[in-house]
Amino acid sequence: MRATIALAGLLTAIVAAAAPPPGAPRPTRAEAAAFLRAAEDEIGALWIARERANWVRATFITEDTEALAARAEEAVMEASARLAREAVRFAPADLAPADRRKLDLLRLTVTLPPPPTAPRRAELAAIATRMENAYSKGKHCPPRLKGKCLTLDDISRRMAKSRKPDELLELWRGWHAIAPPLRADYRRYVELANEGARGLGFKDVGDQWRSRYDMKPAEFEALADRLLKQLQPLYQQLHCHVRAKLRDRYGAAAVPEKGPIPAHLLGNMWAQEWTNVYGLVTPRPAAKSLDLNRLLKARKTDARGMVKYAEGFFVSLGLTPLPKSFWDRSMLTRPRDREVVCHASAWAVDYDADIRIKMCIEPTGEDFTTIHHELGHNYYQFAYRRQPMLFRDSANDGFHEALGDTIALSVTPGYLARVGLLKPAQATEMERAELNDLMQRALEKIAFLPFGYLVDRWRWGVFSGRTPPSGYNAAWWRLRRDLQGVSEPVPRSEADFDPGAKYHVPSNVPYARYFLASFLQFQFHRALCKTAGHEGPLNRCSIYGSKAAGAKLQAMMEMGQSRPWPEALRALTGEDRLDAGAMLEYFKPLHDWLAEQNRGRTCGW
């Protein structure tokens, strides 16, 4: 298939870059296989040690646990970089297909490829740590608060609720002021990381990141461009309506009738999702909305009960109940005796059956959806645990997020009625207000898509040199205006470094995975709904109780990363092409409504 051919082309390029000197013996298949066995044993043991250290750090924060976790992470980084460099030597070998894939994955797992010399590796590690720490410690200290400083969490809460343009602008400027000091470090980081990527046979770091998707880097860019183009009509309609409503609220001086929306007015620091302006754009303000918070509290649902609902969803699909160790070892509530990281996450601590959740669960609708999402990760991890160590991951990095979100899409009024949280008549009433629900989801998922693409699009230009350091900020805002229809709220210059105000940039976290997951989840949802025999609007479908859908889901999850992702996609959906059609179908009622609302308006920017 096409992905296999593309992967072969990638390997050919790497082989050429790493070809041994003339006359040097070609490594044998047996030598390469022995190297891979040893590499899997070594890296697997280090991965497990890192997970255990990180679990303790996240659930018992002290200087000691942070130091232990840092040491475990350092050991993984050292081994990953060393094994990736050694793997290049075996690229010319005539390998079995599974070993060929393992060899390639070994090279591609290094997100921050270190340079070949120890001093430069140490410099890159120091820069990476310094940038992440500087971002994490960032604060805004406005004079009006007389010495009190605001964290990003504080700022985000205020931006979510404020409807005062001056306050929103002050908060936006305050947080973005943390980034300029990172600019010099980021420039050097790019130079050193690119040196490491070239040592692995890639043109630059962006070339390496795009090579993870079983296709040539240029093909991946073309795929992303195609997906965004498919969504453009829906995104433009949403953008047009939101802009008009913001103009009604803030006036013509603040919001233009045509052109991009000023970034600070969308309720989110990066305008990456617009859910916090929902109250200004609600399609049916008088319609009764689902208050899951009230329902859960009325039933006195505790944290364990919340997880039991989610477990019951997967069991209804024919999957096995969670192991006893999950209940013994998970952190479901905030402890009273220590500091912890409450951000929800799913863990497979031993890369086998020891799956856990770390979350401070509250009886809210948001956490109800989140725990369904997180158990999606756990069930995926549990399903591929029998694969070789290098294949114990999702088909690509977007699949894991997409699977969790797919399950969350099935948390519908109909599902809530089936598990007793709503009466059937209430579920029917909620479905009549579906435009409100679709608008909320669109403000989260559709609004995100251009931003989800442009973060890495900007980095690809930086890593390749097409965007020089003298044009970092200009290129950022050009992409934001062109792709997102969002503008800088005040004039910016190269004295600023606005990309650095987004966590994933100074922390070296690839972002394309979130973009891909946004499309994959709807493709998964549509296929599973069809398997479950659902009839009617896609946004009303829940696969709860469908053993047939569960069997398809399980078969795909068990594949792990053993095959190119189009094969995993085909196993679940019957399609091997990522496409926006399912997302467009899901939001069609809202799209039609938006088009009607926008009659007479000039859309686009």
pTM here is 0.88
- Among 36-40, 62-66, 177-181, the least confident range: 62-66
Question: Shortest CA distance to 234 belongs to which of 495, 492, 585?
Answer: 585
Query: Which is it for the CA torsion 250, 253, 258, 260, positive or negative?
Result: negative
* 132 tagged catalytic: no
pLDDT for residue 19 is more than 50: no
The pLDDT value recorded for residue 474 is 98
pLDDT for residue 321 is more than 90: yes
Among candidate residues 377, 400, 525, 534, the one labeled active-site is 377
344 vs 162, higher pLDDT: 162
The pLDDT value recorded for residue 272 is 95
pLDDT for residue 527 is more than 90: yes
Average pLDDT, the chain: 91
Residue 271 domain flag = no
Residue 586 domain flag = no
Q: What is the mean pLDDT of residues 31-48?
A: 95
Q: How many domains does the chain have?
A: 1
* 373 tagged catalytic: yes
Tokens of 92: 């010319």
* 140 tagged catalytic: no
* 374 tagged catalytic: yes
Q: Evaluate whether 557 touches 383 at the Cβ level (below 8 Å).
A: yes
* 264 tagged catalytic: no
The pLDDT value recorded for residue 110 is 79
Report the C-alpha gap between 140 and 269 in whole angstroms.
13
Q: Which domain holds residue 59?
A: 2-113
Among candidate residues 63, 118, 286, 343, the one labeled active-site is 343
Among candidate residues 73, 123, 134, 504, the one labeled active-site is 504
Residue 99 domain flag = yes
Q: What is the pLDDT of residues 545-573, one digit of tens each?
A: 999 999 999 999 999 999 999 999 999 99
Start-to-end C-alpha separation, the chain: 39
Tokens of 13: 């390029």
- Among 307-311, 355-359, 429-433, the least confident range: 429-433
The pLDDT value recorded for residue 66 is 82
- The three-class DSSP label of residue 140 is strand
Q: What is the mean pLDDT of residues 525-531?
A: 98
Residue 392 domain flag = no
Residue 62 domain flag = yes
Report the C-alpha gap between 342 and 320 in whole angstroms.
27
* 591 tagged catalytic: no
Q: Evaluate whether 583 touches 416 at the Cβ level (below 8 Å).
A: no
- Among 104-118, 173-187, 362-376, 440-454, the least confident range: 104-118
Among candidate residues 195, 273, 374, 488, the one labeled active-site is 374
Among candidate residues 70, 344, 551, 595, the one labeled active-site is 344
Residue 143 domain flag = no
* 257 tagged catalytic: no
Among candidate residues 186, 379, 384, 514, the one labeled active-site is 514
Residue 14 domain flag = yes
CA dihedral 523, 526, 530, 535 (to 10 degrees): -160
- The three-class DSSP label of residue 539 is helix
Q: What is the mean pLDDT of residues 300-304?
A: 95
Among candidate residues 241, 264, 372, 373, the one labeled active-site is 373
The pLDDT value recorded for residue 23 is 59
Report the C-alpha gap between 351 and 347 in whole angstroms.
9
The percent of residues above 70 in pLDDT, for the chain, comes to 96
Q: What is the pLDDT of residues 473-506, one digit of tens each?
A: 999 999 999 999 999 999 999 999 999 999 889 9
Highest-scoring range by mean pLDDT, 80-89, 303-312, 426-435: 303-312
The pLDDT value recorded for residue 485 is 98
Residue 72 domain flag = yes
The pLDDT value recorded for residue 586 is 97
Residue 27, burial from CB neighbour count under 10 angstroms (0-12, 13-18, 19+): middle
pLDDT for residue 91 is more than 90: no
Report the C-alpha gap between 108 and 11 in whole angstroms.
11
The pLDDT value recorded for residue 10 is 37
Q: What is the mean pLDDT of residues 211-215?
A: 92
In whole angstroms, how far apart are CA 197 and each of 92, 185, 194? 19, 18, 5
Q: What is the pLDDT of residues 380-435, one digit of tens each?
A: 999 999 999 999 999 998 999 899 899 989 999 899 999 999 888 888 877 778 89
Q: What is the mean pLDDT of residues 146-163?
A: 89
* 167 tagged catalytic: no
Among candidate residues 401, 408, 417, 511, the one labeled active-site is 401
